[in-house]
Amino acid sequence: MSSGSTRHRVAVIGGDGIGPEVCAEALKVVAAAGVDLDTTHFDLGAARYLRDGAVLPDETLAELRGFDAILLGAIGPPVGDTTVPPGTLERGLLLRLRFDLDLFVNLRPFAGIPGSVAAGADFVVIRENTEGTYAGEGGFLRKGTPHEVATQGSVNTRHGVERCARFAFDLASRRQAHHLTLVHKTNVLTFAGDLWHRTVSEVSAEYPDIDWDYNHVDAACIYLVEDPQRYDVIVTDNLFGDILTDLAGAVSGGIGFAASANLNPARTGPSLFEPVHGAAHDIAGKGIANPLAAIHSAALMLEHLGESDAARRIVKAVAEQTDDMSNPDIPTSNEQLSTTAVGDAIAERL
């Protein structure tokens, strides 16, 4: 039963590698939490591309706009694969969804699991999701010649940075620590960094109760490993956010735990929920992928859809399961649980 009068319509893109495996567990857990979603599965990803060349047809994108939310597993070919040119799916499918649906916030929460480097840490990275080096500015000159030139610019707009900064301050003001850190590279990226620093500084005037500071991105990598407990809300640009969140996942217990929400806060269309990790072809089909990132991402989706009670219960079950899996006093803690066994265990706890 859903809390609203109509069932939430969710588009599911399982995608490639472990994507479909972890998505199935996320949907199993949502059902166990008592939310009856109206799901439609979309055949997109490497297999579809190799079959008929389609990446994200215009009519499919138009159809996706009509859903309440999108749940995505992962897309992308094995690293080094040349049958799908690099970026075809990443840019043509995932980034196109982020850009065209105006999912300008990529929210990635981290809670260090017991025994991890970041044990006890609890922070959220707000990654700008539509600009920076991801915008696709650049090109080649004299490609393939000894005088070849390749440029890849970084696009930073006042509007784009400001709305992201404001979202991050709003989030910080709802959290206990009331702290925000801007991460950038103002000492070298003196144009983009200047815009980011000025904008965050100006927006901060609207939030006098939030303590904010600034870290260079290289130093932030040190602090994430040596003292991650210092962070509460981190706000950063698209590429730094991509890199920092894989690192944050690794120090928090593993990338298999890291969830994300690609949000259109104005709700002019569906938001997209997906694990931080990729298609992990090295472990695909073995039944050993950790589904907790996808399950937690589905909880973020339910929260966004107004199913707060179910979302809270799933997040709690994930935390308890994680604690048990990392507790040396529990005999099964060091055994590798299968993907489906972890999904079943969460469903059982609900």
Residues designated catalytic: 134, 185, 218, 242, 246
How far is it, in rounded angstroms, from Cα 95 to Cα 73? Answer: 14
From 22, 94, 111, 234, residue interacting with ligand IPM (rule: CB under 6 A): 94
Which residues make Cβ contacts (< 8 Å) with residue 271, sequence separation at least 6? 69, 70, 101, 103, 261, 262, 263, 264, 301, 304
Residues 168-227 that bind ligand IPM (CB under 6 A): none
- Per-position x/- string for 219-248, each x denoting binding to Mn ion as judged by CB under 5 A, each - no binding: -----------------------x------
- Token pair listed for 248: 């944050």
- Amino acid identity for residue 171 in this structure: L
From 128, 237, 242, 303, residue interacting with ligand IPM (rule: CB under 6 A): 242
How far is it, in rounded angstroms, from Cα 70 to Cα 10? Answer: 6
- Token pair listed for 142: 């004299």
- Token pair listed for 54: 């389609």
Residues 261-290 that bind ligand NAD (CB under 6 A): 274, 277-280, 282-283, 289-290
Check residue 79 for interaction with ligand NAD (CB under 6 A): yes
- Are 302 and 314 a contacting pair, CB within 8 Å? yes
- Are 255 and 282 a contacting pair, CB within 8 Å? no
CB-nearer residue toward ligand IPM: 56 or 276: 276
Judged by DSSP in three states, 271 sits in: strand
CB-nearer residue toward ligand IPM: 14 or 76: 76
- Token pair listed for 321: 């399961």
CB of 159 to ligand IPM, least distance (A): 21
Write out the residues near Mn ion by the rule CB under 5 A: 242
- By the criterion CB under 6 A, which residues form the site for ligand IPM? 76, 90, 94-95, 242, 276, 278
Residues that bind ligand NAD (CB under 6 A): 18, 22, 74-77, 79, 90, 94, 255-256, 274, 277-280, 282-283, 289-290, 293
